[in-house]
Each structure stands twice: as structure tokens, then as C-alpha cells.
């Protein structure tokens, strides 16, 4: 099992008379990471997600305001992730570099999570290349709480991925569960009970998947989830990935 650090950023509103800052440049951020990746302890992959310009239609969810940027940093070991998240460590340097390059004041949240990958019928070989992108990711989050979190996760992990894998054109499927972590990164912590993502070649492929009968099958399974509160969020994102290990 791998571990991922979710960094979710919203650009603070510009002051009166100021223009809106530039949204994160994924390619530029990967160039910085490539120059500094050795400082990260056990970093294996990084993904920079930015909003899909025109959104994507989901028959069960209206268009939601996406985060301005989501960064996923994958690590082979939890210890390495935690060492990279010390107060003045490389993750803090990354956020500082992003702020200076985009001239943006981001409000960041962080969450350390365990990452579970699930097989899909046909992966895109480009996603396994050292540098991959752009592609389209549907980021889903469940804030919770559930009446019984462990029962809720058991149902989700047992029942939802086999349906996800039937989406036409799906390239990757992952589920993320929360992990308590003692990192000292000076970023506000999120405490979502679970996240997941499905990956497609482009927004048109995601749109076709959400318009398919499989989306209705996903909905039917969702109605069978053990009791929980908090609803869910769904963000279509343009994603650029790079592997480091």
C-alpha cells in the first residue's frame, strides 16, 4: 500500500483593484519538483490537478466550485511522507515555490491518506510513463461522518470499485482512506473520511462515462451505503503527473 498527501488549495480573493492571480502551472510545478525531488523522502509520484475549464455534466450532481489546485504527493512509506512534511521541509518549500510562481495567496488544507489502487480493463500506457498528462481526473470526497466508519469503508471498498471498473474509457481507479499523521507542516488539516478518484484520457471521455448506464449503477450502489452524513463532492480536474520512483 502507498500513502498520499493531499494538498488542496483555494486562491484567496484578490484585494480591491487587483487582478486575480494566475492558477497554478502544472508543468512549471513539476519542473520545480524534478529539481528538488531528492529532498523528498521516498516520493514516488506527484500529480498537479487544476479545474477543467468548462466542467463536466454529472446526472446526479450539479456543477460544484472546484479547488483552484490539488496536489497529490505519493510516497512508498508513511515515515517518508511524515519526514517530508516537517515544518521547514520540502513540502513547505513546494507550497512556497507555488505561491511565488503563481503570485497567489493560497488557503491550503492537507490530509495524509492510504492509497488503494484497483484494476481497470485497459490502462493508458502514457499514464505509466515517467511524465504523464494532461489527463482528466474525477476527484470525489466524502466528509462524513458515518454511523460506523469501518462498516462504511468495508461496503465501499468491496462494492464500488467493481462498478467503477466498468466505466467506458476508465484508466485508473483509486480509493483513499484517512491516516492519523504527526507531521508538522504548517497547513490546516482536513479530516475527510474518504476520497476516491477515477481517471480518463480527457474531459470528453469522463463526460461519456458519466452519461453511461454505469453512472446509474454507481448511484444505485450509493443508495445502499451504510448510514452517513456530509454528502459528497465531485470535481473534474485536468491532471499532470510525473513519476519519481
pLDDT given at position 22: 52
Q: Is the dihedral of CA 155, 161, 164, 166 positive or negative?
A: negative
Q: What is the pLDDT of residue 100?
A: 77
Please give the Cα distance from 107 to 233 (Å, whole number): 18
Using CA atoms, how far apart are residues 158 and 245, in angstroms rounded to an integer? 29
- pLDDT per residue over 71-110, tens digit each? 999 999 999 999 999 988 999 999 988 877 766 778 899 9
How far the first Cα of the chain sits from its last, in Å, is 15
Chain segment 17-60, per-residue pLDDT in tens = 454 445 567 888 888 898 998 999 999 999 999 999 877 888 87
Q: Where are the beta strands (DSSP E) in 22-154?
A: 43-51, 69-75, 106-118, 131-142
Q: Which residues contact 147 (CB under 8 A, 6 or more apart)?
A: 226, 227, 228
176 to 94, 117, 125, 227: CA distances (angstroms): 22, 9, 23, 19
* 134 vs 143: CA distance, rounded Å: 28
Cβ(47)–Cβ(241) below 8 Å: yes
The pTM assigned to this predicted structure is 0.92
* CA atoms of 77 and 102, how far apart (whole Å): 30
CA distances from 18 to 13, 21, 22, 68 (A): 9, 9, 12, 18
What radius of gyration do the chain's Cα atoms show? 18
pLDDT at 62: 77
Amino acid at each position: 500500500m502507498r500513502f498520499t498527501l493531499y494538498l488542496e488549495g483555494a486562491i484567496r480573493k484578490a484585494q480591491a483593484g487587483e487582478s486575480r492571480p494566475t492558477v497554478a502551472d502544472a508543468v512549471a510545478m513539476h519542473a520545480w519538483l524534478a529539481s528538488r525531488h531528492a529532498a523528498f523522502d521516498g516520493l514516488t509520484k506527484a500529480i498537479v490537478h487544476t479545474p477543467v475549464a468548462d466542467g463536466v455534466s454529472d446526472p446526479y450532481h450539479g456543477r460544484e466550485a472546484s479547488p483552484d489546485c490539488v496536489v497529490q504527493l505519493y510516497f512508498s512509506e508513511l515515515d517518508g511522507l511524515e519526514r517530508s512534511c516537517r515544518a521547514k521541509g520540502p513540502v513547505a518549500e513546494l507550497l512556497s515555490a507555488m505561491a511565488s510562481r503563481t503570485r497567489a495567496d493560497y488557503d491550503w488544507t492537507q490530509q495524509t491518506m492510504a492509497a488503494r489502487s484497483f484494476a481497470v480493463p485497459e490502462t493508458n500506457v502514457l499514464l505509466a510513463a515517467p511524465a504523464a498528462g494532461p489527463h482528466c481526473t474525477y476527484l470525489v470526497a466524502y466528509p462524513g461522518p458515518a454511523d460506523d466508519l469501518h462498516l462504511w469503508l468495508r461496503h465501499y471498498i468491496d462494492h464500488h470499485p467493481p462498478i467503477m471498473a466498468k466505466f467506458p474509457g476508465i484508466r485508473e481507479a483509486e480509493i483513499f482512506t484517512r491516516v492519523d499523521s504527526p507531521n508538522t507542516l504548517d497547513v490546516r488539516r482536513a479530516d475527510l473520511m474518504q476520497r476516491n478518484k477515477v481517471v480518463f484520457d480527457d474531459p470528453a471521455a469522463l463526460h461519456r462515462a458519466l452519461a453511461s448506464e454505469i453512472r446509474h449503477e454507481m448511484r444505485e450502489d450509493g443508495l445502499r451505503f451504510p448510514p452517513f452524513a456530509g454528502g459528497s463532492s465531485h470535481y473534474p480536474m485536468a491532471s499532470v503527473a510525473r513519476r519519481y520512483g
